[in-house]
Amino acid sequence: MAISAIFFLDIKGRIIIFRDYRGDVSPKYAEKFMSKINELEELEEESLRDNFVIVYELLDEVVDFGYPQFTEARILAEYIKTDAHKMEAAVKPPMAVTNAVSWRMEGIRHKKNEVFLDVVESVNLLVSSGGQVVLSEVVGVLKMRAYLSGMPECKLGLNDKVLFESQGRSSKQKAVELEDIKFHQCVRLARFENDRTISFIPPDGAFDLMTYRISQNIKPLIMVDCMVEKPSRSRTEYLVKARSQFKERSQANTVEIILPLPADAISPSMKCSQGTAAYVPEKSALVWTIKSFPGGKEYTLRCHFGLPSVEAEDEGKGKMPPIKVKFEIPFFTVSGVQVRYLKVIEKSGYQALPWVRYITTSGNYEIRMV
């Protein structure tokens, strides 16, 4: 697929700058385009007018006869200079432009060759007031920091269900079915599609190697039950139970349970068996914080508050927002994704130290109240 032309328009749809690469698109198409972006914020016209030269230089380098070329900002900055007329010698294009690996420069050197890989999973969960899971999914990202010399070749292996099935591995081995996989441009897609091997030459520094999604019926990691009691017509009481439903050897850190209160709640008082609780009037909520929540534990909280009238209490029934839970569980993945190996091969033969961590965090994690 090729690009025919690029148009830069002002707020009224008039053409400021354009580059026609193939001669098969009329400028009249710009008028039709404006009707589709009326609700979007546009680039400042004055900024374009002040930077005609650099814009045209970028257009010439980024696209050649309609085909995208180099879009890495660091590479473009090395040989596109706004004051190029002052230079006596022509600027030599960086090695990455002449290489197939545009995201990595030649000649990178590190005193210590290391690669860090964080498997970070975010849990999105919605639980009904009856305790049933209404919606659940895991969104994962493999975050890598590579400090490697030369042009290293990296290979990563996961407990991928599709790979295991293609190799005829025993069903006893735990495998995970990954969905919506997206890779950084450094990954060789043809190789992955052929044999599910994740092979790549990494950029230098930090980048997201891969993202994925897993949609399955996930048991709530931290379940919160809130019973609403009314000891008198002028007082309301919450009895809240929070229990961790993961293995005892794991531990959730900095747990925050946000319990909604009526906007006109009066003099809330609370007592909890673990952690601390505070009323946050600007959020109309009670925030229960537990720094360390081991697996297989249950903690309780009681909260008393008043309402200015019986009518206000009745109006609030069935309209309370859901309970929100925030947490982070290190050394744990809810999906069961595991890194089987991470190999680094470089022609100089140095030994690299790979480090792998697992972290599960709360995403949009909500539990509806009765």
Alpha-carbon 362 to chain mean position: 12
Give me the phi and psi of 47, to 5 degrees please. Answer: -65, -40
Cα separation of 211 and 181, whole Å? Answer: 6
Q: Could you tell me which residue, 71 or 199, shows the higher pLDDT?
A: 199
Cα separation of 194 and 93, whole Å? Answer: 34
Identical fold for domains 114-218+334-367 and 222-330, yes or no, is yes
What DSSP string runs through 99-119? SS-TTS-TT---SS-EEEEEE
Tokens (6 digits) for 171: 């069903």
Q: Where are the domains of the chain?
A: 5-98, 114-218+334-367, 222-330
pLDDT at 107 over 80: yes
For residue 272, which of 242, 296, 228, 302 has the smallest C-alpha distance? 302
Q: What homologous superfamily is domain 222-330 in, according to CATH?
A: Mu homology domain, subdomain B (2.60.40.1170)
Q: Tens digit of pLDDT for each residue in 164-200?
A: 777 766 655 688 888 889 999 999 988 888 888 899 9
Q: Tens digit of pLDDT for each residue in 230-268?
A: 887 778 899 999 999 999 999 999 999 999 998 888 889
Would you say domain 114-218+334-367 falls under CATH 2.60.40.1170?
yes
Report residue 50's pLDDT band, with 50, 70 and 90 as the boundaries. confident
Provide the pLDDT for residue 280: 93
CA angle (138, 144, 149) in 5-degree steps? 165
Model's pTM, two decimal places?
Answer: 0.69
Provide the pLDDT for residue 183: 94
CB distance 225 to 240 below 8 Å: yes
Report residue 328's pLDDT band, with 50, 70 and 90 as the boundaries. very high
Cα separation of 161 and 114, whole Å? Answer: 29
Q: Tens digit of pLDDT for each residue in 9-27?
A: 877 778 888 888 888 888 7
Would you say domain 5-98 falls under CATH 3.30.450.60?
yes
For residue 188, which of 178, 174, 198, 175 has the smallest C-alpha distance? 198
The SS3 call for residue 54 is helix
CB distance 114 to 355 below 8 Å: yes
Tokens (6 digits) for 173: 């081995």
Cα separation of 274 and 293, whole Å? Answer: 9
What DSSP string runs through 61-95? HHEETTEE----HHHHHHH--TTGGG-SSPPPPPH
Provide the pLDDT for residue 193: 85
The SS3 call for residue 316 is helix
Tokens (6 digits) for 297: 């534990």
